[in-house]
Structure formats: C-alpha cells, structure tokens
Amino acid sequence: MHERIVFSIYPDYLKELSTPETDLNYCFSCRPENLGHKISLSDEEQKRFRYYVHKLSSIQGYGSDLLEKAVFLELMVYLNHCFSRYAGQNAASKEPEKPEGYHAQVDQILAYIHQNIGQPLAIETLAEHFFLSPSYLCRIFKSTTGTTINKYITAKRITLAKSLLMEGHTVSETAELCGFNDYSNFLKAFTKAVGISPKKYASFT
C-alpha cells in the first residue's frame, strides 16, 4: 500500500521565497539529465517529510498564514537537502560527466571570492583568473552552489557590510570595504536584502 501526497507549487512563488544564497527551485531547475523524477527517501527522511506535511495541514488560528509559510520554507529547504544527497549518490554510481577536478575548481573560485570580496569581482575577471570561459564558469558555479556568481558575491558582501556597520564603520566606508564601486548600488542592494537602509541598520546596533 502506498500513500500519495501531492503538492502544487508555483515556480514564481519559490523564486519569491528564495534568497541570493538559497535557491528553493534548485531541486527542480538543476536536475542532472541522467536523474529521474523520483528520489528515494530513507525511513528517517520519510518520517521527517510526513512531519512537515502533518504540521502544514494542522496549522489553524491566528498567525496561521505566517506559520504555514515558515513550515513550507522548512520543507523546501529539507527537500533540497534530500535532492542534493540523492543526486550526489546517483552521480557517484555512474561515470562522471563533468571534467576531473570540477568540484575543486568551484572550491577554488569560492575561496578566491572570499579572499577578494572587497575588490572588483567581475565574471570576466574570475574567468580569466581561472582560465575558464565566462559561460562555463557560470554554469559550473550554478550547478554546484545552486545560485549565480553575482548573487553569491552580493550576498557575501551584504553579510560583510552588516558586520562592518555593527563595528561602527560609516555607510560610505562599508560600501567601499565591501567592494561596491557605486554608493547608490550599495544602498539598493543592502535595502533589498535586509529590508532597511544601511544607516537605519547601523542605528539599531
């Protein structure tokens, strides 16, 4: 006997809930060609999945809309974790399609970004540094991390900016130290990611 649970999820809704560091569409949009549409969950994973489903279906009363959204986010993050594990096991059991050292390349790219987050980090510059074409660089980065290079860099810079503002740096100093070459771009990026302006964020610390 099998139990079937069906979710209808709009891609645009997942996109709206995603962040620069977490793409909730990853398990749908980054599926390898040799991976089927069904993944196998362990007994423990099935129990946890049912827990989220039960929690979603039993939420009632005041604040139910916010609680449903919170549980749905937990569920989607969990499903993406399960997908990543299953995809990794599937890839390990087959001949690798990507070039040798593929993951090492991405690790090196991430390390370079972290070390140079305060410097200009154009895709063309990164591609030239690692002797890759820009299109190939973008492809392997998105496939491995689930997000784009530009989104990843912006997210890291915003995280650094929050720390610098908490330490007492001015907004203009923070923008420069985080690698934003345009002050207005920094204001827009920070406000979009955090929900308030850098100046207001600094006043809370």
- Cβ distance 71 to 56 under 8 Å? yes
Report pTM: 0.51
Burial (CB count <10 Å: 0-12, 13-18, 19+), residue 157: buried
Query: How many angstroms separate the CA atoms of 153 and 20, rounded?
Result: 9
Q: What is the pLDDT at residue 185?
A: 92
pLDDT of the residue at 19: 84
* Predicted local distance difference test score (pLDDT) of residue 127: 92
State the burial class of residue 97 (Cβ atoms within 10 Å of its Cβ: 0-12, 13-18, 19+): exposed
E strands along the chain, which residues? none
CA distance 175 to 184: 9
Rounded distance between C-alpha atoms, residue 174 and residue 185, angstroms = 13
Compute how many other C-beta atoms are within 10 angstroms of the C-beta atom of residue 39.
17
At 116, list the tokens. Answer: 């140079």
Say what the pLDDT of residue 155 is.
92
User: Can you give the pLDDT at residue 24?
Assistant: 84
d(CA 31, CA 37) in angstroms, rounded, equals 9
How many CB atoms within 10 Å of residue 6?
Answer: 4
- Domain boundaries defined on the chain: 11-31+41-92, 97-205
- 195 Ramachandran zone, left/alpha/beta (phi>0; psi -120 to 50): left
Please report, in tens digits, the pLDDT of each residue of the chain (205 residues total): 556 677 778 778 888 888 877 888 777 776 655 556 667 777 888 888 888 888 888 888 888 888 888 888 888 888 878 777 766 655 444 444 444 444 568 888 999 999 999 999 999 999 999 888 999 899 889 888 888 999 999 999 999 999 999 889 999 999 999 999 889 999 999 999 989 999 998 887 6
State the CATH class of domain 97-205.
mainly alpha
CA distance 162 to 165: 5
In angstroms, rounded to a whole number, what is the distance separating the alpha carbons of residues 15 and 186? 22
